[in-house]
Amino acid sequence: MRRTLLFAAAASLFACGTPPDGAHGQPREYDNNDLQLISGYTAKELCSCLFVMERDEDYCRAWTKASPAVANARVDRAHKSVEAGALMFWMRRAHYVDEHFGCVLDP
């Protein structure tokens, strides 16, 4: 019984593992979670709406609007990319790759 409990405890520790790797094999950390995440979300989802779903820009901006509205976005149709920022400090860019991958966030 004791051995079974020890095995279960060890298995649960290994199952937790480490967080997914970010760039260069390092765990990704979000020091300013909300603002970093909202800028990434806005860039990726606006890009997907415009270039994958091929919706008009007014619809896509309404679809990706967050409350409170702390993120703004700039669309570059020539390069099929979107750059979004939250409070002018946290910037993320997403670009359209192809029909298979859709839009991806730049590292």
55-102 confidence digits (pLDDT tens): 999 999 999 988 888 889 999 999 999 999 988 788 999 999 999 999
pLDDT tens figures, 89-106: 889 999 999 999 999 999
CB atoms within 10 A of CB 96: 18
- Domain-embedded: residue 71: yes
11 domain-assigned? no
Answer whether residue 46 shows pLDDT above 90.
yes
Residue 16 forms part of a structural domain:
no
Is residue 62 domain-resident? yes
Q: Model's pTM, two decimal places?
A: 0.69
Q: 10 in a domain, yes or no?
A: no
Domain hosting 59: range is: 32-107
Query: Is 4 inside a domain boundary?
Result: no
- Is 36:44 a contact under the CB 8 Å cutoff? no
Give the count of domains, the chain. 1
| Encoded tokens for 31 | 């020091």
